[in-house]
Structure 1
């Protein structure tokens, strides 16, 4: 089992987009089971009014995809010997995603991911997300890649603003010449 502090150490995401709480099982390079507890305090629920119907409380599918992708990244990082080149892991895409049910506050997402192959710094994985005994999502292909970090271009300060009224004085000077 990998506790939350180890998950934080492995992934670059931070609140509010760190969407894996704990790793329950890991077979490095093969498969992983991770969990994420959905609470009513999630930023996605900030605008939900009192008395709103259940649909307003459905956890966004995009966050399920991101959470499952983070679980897959943990699997890849756990089973790989990556060069210390400063490259970052990036979620590249998901294909053949299906959603089989709603997720609500109080549910615990259990992601089961399997690493299929890693080719030239790009990993392909499959996975499912469960709430209890109910499958809520499945993906046939999650794709992640490692890319080098480029140093940021130097930021050039903006040109200083002309002094207040400078244009008027310039025109007056031009007329008097």
Structure 2
């Protein structure tokens, strides 16, 4: 049986994660280069050691452990983003109506000088109770930004904010876009 030095063992073998699967023992290396190096230099020693332990079916993979860590990290990031979005929604709702309107104007893609008309429409809809909360409005604007109609001809067909508010697009949210 081939002996592996302690330095080589710590550098190349210790990072390998072993998992039992239906196909046999999976030896997961950190990356493809480490896997190639281990297979080239230590395959016989690993095979002999596993045969001595009674394991004949084994195979090398790379990156499974990294994928699991990345999935865990992504899950944590999504949870954090949801928490931040909830906090942001609460903050937006607590703003005065004029500041909510300013946030809407800043996110709306078509910039015009006619914000006075848009403010009148916003205020009128708010008084009538026909205006959804600011978070829903911002979400609707984001969805519209990615629509074909708003992207066609470099945004030429995006309505002015006051016309968009007057048309009340949130009433047609149930229809297919």
Per the normalisation by structure 1, the TM-score is 0.21
* Larger fraction in helix: 2
For the pair shown, which has the larger CA radius of gyration, 1 or 2? 2
Length-normalised TM-score, structure 2: 0.21
